[in-house]
């Protein structure tokens, strides 16, 4: 019986190409916040023992202030003084430009440039992301790209996230 269910689910699973295409289309909007939070919850807690997991996704709609929220790495409202490469709203809201961090850390980062955000996350805010392994991994992988954070880097990260989701997080053998 369980094997039949497994086989039925496996048949319905999208192929890798379709999954990557649809995953990379995920973007920030009020209605997608729960989905994005859930994705980052699964990525952050992947392979962690129950005692080390951090609850990022909270499905309870009665909770108005969630402990974690969505951070736009390239800011939604960049300062003209930062001289950042201009990005479209679609690029800024792409899943490749998003992180899920505590609401306090998010407010402390504000509309800083990607370079300044990395500096703070590696410096005075490092303790606030100590329990978020996927954010620390993001910093390690992308710290060399912050000076030229652009559409190509965002698209590459979106694809990388989708491949991790397909190959590891929601893998069906």
Over the stretch 126-152, which tens digit does the pLDDT of each residue have? 999 998 999 999 999 999 999 999 999
pLDDT of residue 134: 92
Q: Tokens 């792409």 identify what position? A: 94
Reading the block at residue 118, the tokens are 């990395």
Q: What is the pTM of this model?
A: 0.89
Chain centre to alpha carbon of residue 75: 14
User: What single-letter DSSP state applies at residue 74?
Assistant: S
User: Per-residue pLDDT tens for 4-50?
Assistant: 887 887 788 888 999 999 999 999 999 899 999 999 999 998 886 77
């Amino acid at each position: 019986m369980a094997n039949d269910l497994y086989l039925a689910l496996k048949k319905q699973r999208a192929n890798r190409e379709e999954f990557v295409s649809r995953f990379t289309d995920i973007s920030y909007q009020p209605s997608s916040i729960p989905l994005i939070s859930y994705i980052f919850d699964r990525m952050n807690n992947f392979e962690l023992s129950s005692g080390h997991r951090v609850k990022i996704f909270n499905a309870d709609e009665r909770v108005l202030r969630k402990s974690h929220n969505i951070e736009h790495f390239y800011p939604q409202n960049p300062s003209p003084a930062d001289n950042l490469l201009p990005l479209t709203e679609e690029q800024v809201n792409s899943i490749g430009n998003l992180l899920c961090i505590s609401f306090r850390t998010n407010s402390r980062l504000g509309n800083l440039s990607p370079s300044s955000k990395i500096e703070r996350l590696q410096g005075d805010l490092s303790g606030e992301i100590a329990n978020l392994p996927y954010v620390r991994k993001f910093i390690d992988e992308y710290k060399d790209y912050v000076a030229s954070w652009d559409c190509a880097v965002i698209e590459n990260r979106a694809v990388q996230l989708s491949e991790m989701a397909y190959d590891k997080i929601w893998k069906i053998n």
